[in-house]
Amino acid sequence: MDHFTYKNNELFAENVAVAKIAKQVGTPFYCYSSATLEHHFKVFAEGFQGLDTLICFAVKSNSNLAVIKTLADAGAGADVVSEGEIRRALKCGIAPNKIIFSGIGKTASEMEFALNTGIYQFNVESEPELELLAKTAQKLNKTAPIAIRVNPDIDAGTSAKITTGLKTSKFGIDINHALEVYKKASKLKGIKIQAISVHIGSQITDFKPFEKAFIRVREFHAELAKNGIEINVLDLGGGIGVPYDAEKNPPPHPRDYAKIVREVFKSFKGRFCFEPGRVLVGNAGILVSEVIYVKPTDARNFLIVDAAMNDLIRPSFYNAHHDIIPINQKSAAGNHKYDIVGPVCETGDTFAELRTMPELKPGDLIAFRTAGAYGSVMASTYNSRKIVPEVMVKGDKFEITSRRMSYDEMFEREILPDWLK
């Protein structure tokens, strides 16, 4: 569900005409709906009513400050993977005791910052990381609350690039060896064991892998208890998928995910942590673009638009599908097949092939739906293209939450060496 709907054949973001935003801001731009963000968080949280939960938004999915603050105001904490993301969470008013630090490559300086901040939990992903965290905590005379991320060797059934729970994955510690790591952690000064963490992947639309992974965690929790290791928190990660293709069956509802959690862990009396990202922000954003040219050839008809792979890399990087719709339904009539492509000098700068669309002309506006997750956050200046602006809508008003990069801003980090001046 989202708040991007047609009214009198014009696409609106809540109560603002998208074409009105485009006229003021220019294209391409990202547009987020406050109401959609708030609704998705509410729906996710409702499934766990009555349980002790900490729901931490996965900041990596969309690091726009307005998005983070909207979710924080709704009650979200933050799942972060860098010092920069910790700083973003703090800037948006998220309390340190609602921040979980994930990621496989935490540096000593990042650990120091997190320890001095007083975050809720470190999700440890390797023995070397555990040793460095203990050393860093002792140096600061602090104690690091930890979960150890176990790898259950379960295929999430999603893209290989976002599957994280297999033995061949770089993430976590093999669940078959995790007991020894917990025993080691229990003897380290500066370390406080409080949780088990698991996360098997992203964009998961079949919940059976979740159930399998959770059952393994439940069994492992019992094994830890037999060995005298008390666990009061289960961090079950994120990964719920969203419907990118409206033509296909949508993924199961978050309430179905909550039912699995409740059933598998019905005897667990501690706290549950969740790290949703895409399920909160995916459908809350669109990328708006303008048609530059329509290029007919003997083999294909190309719709060349002003957005490119540097703005939205998912189709190129993941072979991902996004529904693409006209902003004005009335002016776009008939059915045509287009390859929808951007201006970047790469054949891979292709958003869709042979996509059935209404007839479109230069100057027409289109929207890439479900672009709120892993869209703007993965943007780059490839081909020396400016980072596009982001806009947030609330009711009948909108504001730019991240302005379009200028060329001066693009170049200001670069320095010519003396011998070239």
Based on the fold, state whether residues 10 and 138 are members of the same structural domain. no
Q: Which whole number is the average pLDDT over 388-399?
A: 98
- Is 171 in contact with 199 (CB distance < 8 Å)? yes
* Range 202-224 average pLDDT: 92
- Distance separating alpha carbons of residues 116 and 110, to the nearest angstrom: 10
Q: Are residues 100 and 133 in the same domain?
A: yes
8 Å CB contact between 12 and 6: yes
pLDDT tens sequence across 273-304: 999 999 999 999 999 999 999 999 999 999 99
Is residue 35 predicted with pLDDT exceeding 80? yes
Other C-beta atoms within 10 Å of 404: how many? 15
CATH code (residue 302): 2.40.37.10
By CB neighbour count within 10 A (0-12 exposed, 13-18 middle, 19+ buried), where does 290 fall?
Answer: middle
Phi and psi at residue 35, in whole multiples of 5°? Answer: -60, -35
Q: Length of the chain in residues, anyone?
A: 421
Is the predicted pLDDT of residue 162 greater than 50, yes or no? no
Q: How far apart are CA 328 and CA 18, in angstroms?
A: 10
DSSP 8-state code for residue 96: G
Residues 146 and 185 in one domain: yes
Last residue in a domain, options 280, 315, 342: 280
Q: Is residue 45 pLDDT above 90, yes or no?
A: yes
Q: Where are the alpha helices (DSSP H) in 140-229?
A: 178-186, 208-226
Q: pLDDT tier at 206 (50, 70, 90 boundaries)?
A: confident
Overall number of domains in the chain: 2
pLDDT of residue 244: 86
Find out whether 83 and 109 touch, Cβ atoms under 8 Å: yes
The pLDDT assigned to 141 comes to 98
What is the Cα–Cα distance from 54 to 47, expressed in whole angstroms? 13
The CATH number of residue 98's host domain is: 3.20.20.10
Residues 93 and 173 in one domain: yes
Q: Establish if 417 belongs to a structural domain.
A: no
Residues 373, 404 within the same domain:
yes
pLDDT of residue 155: 57
Asked if residue 156 is part of any domain, the answer here is yes
**Please, which residues have CB within 8 angstroms of residue 410's CB and are 6 or more apart in sequence?**
381, 384, 386
> Does 421 reside within a domain?
no
Region 106-127 average pLDDT: 97
Among residues 246, 280, 314, the one where a domain terminates is 280
320/198 same-domain check = no
End-to-end CA distance of the chain: 56
Residues 286 and 299 in one domain: yes
Distance between CA 327 and CA 61 in Å, rounded? 25
Q: Is the domain of 303 the same as that of 248?
A: no
Q: Round to whole Å and give the CA distance between 54 and 243.
A: 25
- Given a cut of 60, whether residue 161 has pLDDT beyond it is no
Q: Quick one: 174 and 130 in the same domain?
A: yes
Q: How far apart are CA 214 and CA 194, in angstroms?
A: 17
Q: Are residues 202 and 258 in the same domain?
A: yes
pLDDT band (50, 70, 90) for residue 165:
very low
pLDDT band at 332 (very low <50, low <70, confident <90, very high): low
416 within some domain = no
Does residue 391 lie in a domain region?
yes
pLDDT digits (tens, 9 = 90+) for 353-392: 999 999 999 999 999 999 999 999 999 999 999 999 999 9
Looking at residue 251, what is its pLDDT?
A: 75
Residue 163 above 80 pLDDT?
no
- Long-range contacts, 81-86 (Cβ 8 Å, 24+): 82/110, 83/109, 83/110, 83/113, 83/114, 85/59, 85/60, 86/110, 86/113, 86/114, 86/117, 86/119
* pLDDT value for 249: 63
The answer to whether 173 touches 217, Cβ cutoff 8 Å, is no
- φ/ψ of 84, rounded to 5, equals -60, -40
Q: Which of 239, 263, 280 is the last residue of a domain?
A: 280
* Bridge partners, 391 (sequence order): 31, 400
Identify the weakest region by mean pLDDT among 18-32, 44-58, 190-204: 190-204
Helices 127-139/178-186 angle, 10° precision: 10
The DSSP result for 171-190, as a single string, is SSEETTTHHHHHHHHHTSTT
Question: Is there a domain that residue 358 lies in?
Answer: yes
pLDDT of residue 119 exceeding 90: yes
SS3 197: strand
Does position 184 have pLDDT exceeding 70, yes or no? Answer: yes
| Mean pLDDT of the 17-23 span | 98
**Cα torsion at 7, 244, 71, 261 (round to 10°)?**
130
For residue 60, is it within any domain? yes
Q: Which domain holds residue 77?
A: 34-280
pLDDT at 133 exceeding the cut of 60: yes
Burial 333-358 (b: 16+ CB within 10 A, else e): eeebebbbbbbbeeeebbbbeebebb
Residue 64 pLDDT more than 60? yes
418 part of a folded domain: no
Mean pLDDT value of segment 81-98 = 98
Least confident piece of the model among 159-163, 169-173, 217-221, 288-292: 159-163
**Confidence (pLDDT) at 144:** 98
Whether residues 209 and 91 share a domain: the answer is yes
Average pLDDT over residues 307-328: 95
Q: Return the active site residues.
A: 345
For the chain, percent of residues with pLDDT exceeding 90: 86
Same domain as 257, residue 152: yes
**Residues 21 and 391 sit within 8 Å (Cβ to Cβ):** yes
In whole numbers, what is the pLDDT of the chain averaged over residues?
A: 93
> pLDDT digits over 228-246, tens only?
999 999 999 998 989 887 6
